[in-house]
Amino acid sequence: MLLDSLKDMAKREGFRDLAFEIDRTGEFPADLLGKFAKMGLLGMTLSSQFGGGDEDSLTAILAIEELAKHSPMIAAAVFESNVGAVRVIDMFGTEAQKEAVIPGVCNGENSVSVCMTEPESGSDLTSLTTVVEDKGDHLLLNGRKCFITGAGHASHYVVYCRFGEEKGYKAIGAVLLEKGTEGFSFGKQEEFMGLRGMPSCDLIFDNVCVPRENVVINKGDFSKLMLTFDIERCGNSAMCLGVAGGALEEAKKYTTERKAFGRPICEFQDIQFKVADMAMKLDAAKLLVYRAASNAGQGLPSIYEASLGKCFANEMVKEVTDTAMQIFGGYGYSKEFPLERMARDARAWSVAGGTLQMLRITMASMIYGRRFSQRPD
Ligand SMILES: Cc1cc2nc3c(=O)[nH]c(=O)nc-3n(C[C@H](O)[C@H](O)[C@H](O)COP(=O)(O)OP(=O)(O)OC[C@H]3O[C@@H](n4cnc5c(N)ncnc54)[C@H](O)[C@@H]3O)c2cc1C
């Protein structure tokens, strides 16, 4: 029923055209958020006590996938509010933090960004240097983050930081920061090749005074942050399923309409094989991603299943959009058609949320049952 209502909404709201418009202008229509909220799409996985829907992750994954068939930007708010950093607050935050953030997320007024990456530490997350110093009645935050999705636009920020000077992952926790806090500012907007319309920039923390009650994850509990992030990885994979599904639908339609040598190009066996391969790879990715999400239920997914699903879906979406572009011939390269946009958008997911290499390192360590240090001896 949910997917049917999203398909109806896509027709009614003209999502296919809207996707071109968002890509062209970089602007997301604000009124759509209210419509999503009315349909219960925002925060459907969050606690009902605070206005959420108590749904499992799989339901949100399916909704994200359906919307991302048109554009990941159309799915972005449903992604952020169900599998984004707000889940850290929903699962591990204090009652006061939940009260301050979750009801607003569910009605579209609030959104929460996850802030891990720094100019000098991306994959090597545990080397991060953003730090909070204990000042007795409060904490003092200093540092810089980069590539933060939603930055400048989001109302709240879950900032991964080091508690004191101690090195290593054991000293890493997270604090909740509200936009507008003194000493907290934003860098210039990133210019990405795709995902146009997605706000992203640096965060700058210059002697930001953080009340003690804003600590979400204390030092010593870094694993809670990373486990919750695996839910976000399932959302990233759902974006890939959606974009690839959209590309497949476009390719199927185009090949029945476009003629060459006096016949529709779908009658050429090479085109049929390409379309069959696209469908096969997409279906395989779906099974892996749905497995990770359904085994998570309302809780956390297995690290192995989430990493495997993301890695496979990230590679699949690049292949499928590339093949679909080829099938469109010269029109695949033209902005009049959606394929060049889909191929640009497809590239982001294998870096965002952890690169393909880092995912494989995680999978290998689970397979061998031991950690492989990446640092020099
Ligand atoms: C669209 C987009 C959205 C993003 N959104 C967010 C966000 O909301 N919040 C946030 O915190 N971050 C976000 N990021 C940042 C993203 O998480 C990082 O870019 C990513 O983790 C990689 O870090 P890096 O760019 O510093 O690359 P690096 O870590 O410098 O890596 C460079 C290359 O080296 C490879 N590499 C590094 N170490 C190893 C190793 N041990 N073995 C093999 N290969 C290795 C990497 O895989 C990569 O190919 C986003 C990025 C993008 C592109």
Residue type, 117: T
Q: Mapping DSSP to helix (H, G, I), strand (E, B) and coil, where does residue 30 land? A: coil
For atom 29 of ligand 1, the residue with the nearest CA is 123
The pLDDT tens digits along the chain (377 residues) read 999 999 999 999 999 999 999 999 999 998 999 999 999 999 999 999 999 999 999 999 999 999 999 999 999 999 999 999 999 999 999 999 999 999 999 999 999 999 999 999 999 999 999 999 999 989 999 999 999 999 999 999 999 999 998 999 999 999 999 999 999 999 999 999 999 999 999 999 999 999 999 999 999 999 999 999 999 999 999 999 999 999 999 999 999 999 999 999 999 999 999 999 999 999 999 999 999 999 998 889 999 999 999 999 999 999 999 999 999 999 999 999 999 999 999 999 999 999 999 999 999 999 999 999 999 98
Q: What's the gap in Å between 169 CA and the centre of ligand 1?
A: 17
Query: Which ligand 1 atom sits nearest the alpha carbon of residue 149?
Result: 8
Cα-to-centroid distance, 78 and ligand 1 (Å):
23
**Helix (H), strand (E) at residue 162:** strand 156-163
Residue 325, both tokens: 């572009």
Selecting from 1.10.540.10, 1.20.1430.10, 2.40.30.40, 1.10.3720.10, what CATH number does the domain 2-106 have? Answer: 1.10.540.10
Q: Which amino acid does the sequence have at 55? A: E
pLDDT score, position 182: 98
Residue 350 Cβ inside 6 Å of ligand 1? The answer reads no
In what helix (H) or strand (E) does residue 144 lie, and over which residues does it extend?
Answer: strand 138-149
Q: Confirm or reject CATH 3.30.2130.10 for domain 112-220, answering yes or no.
A: no
171 DSSP 8-state letter: G
Helix (H, G, I), strand (E, B) or coil at 129: coil
The structure tokens listed for 346 are 């497809």
Q: Does domain 223-368 have CATH number 1.20.140.10?
A: yes
Sign of CA dihedral 74, 77, 78, 79: positive
Tokens of 165: 């000077």
361 Cα to the center of ligand 1, angstroms = 14
Ligand 1 centre from 354 Cα, in Å?
Answer: 6
What is the distance between the alpha carbons of residues 44 and 39, in angstroms, rounded to a whole number?
A: 10
Residue with tokens 């200093």: 142
Q: Are the C-beta atoms of residues 102 and 90 closer than 8 Å to each other?
A: yes
154 lines ligand 1 (CB under 6 A): no
For strands 156-163 and 131-134, give the pairing. parallel
Phi, psi at residue 229, to the nearest 5°? -65, -20
- The full set of domain ranges for the chain reads 2-106, 112-220, 223-368
pLDDT at 13: 96
Closest ligand 1 atom, residue 348 Cα: 1
- Ligand 1: does its nearest atom lie under 6 Å from the Cβ of 194? no
Q: Which of 117, 172, 360, 365 to mutate to test the pocket of ligand 1 (most atoms within 8 A of CB)?
A: 117
The tokens describing 119, both together, are 């100019």
The 3-state DSSP class for residue 173 equals: strand
3-state class (DSSP) for residue 174: strand
> Do the beta carbons of residue 280 and residue 260 sit within 8 Å?
no
Q: What is the DSSP letter of 121?
A: B
Q: CA angle, corner 58, sides to 53 and 61, nearest 5?
A: 95
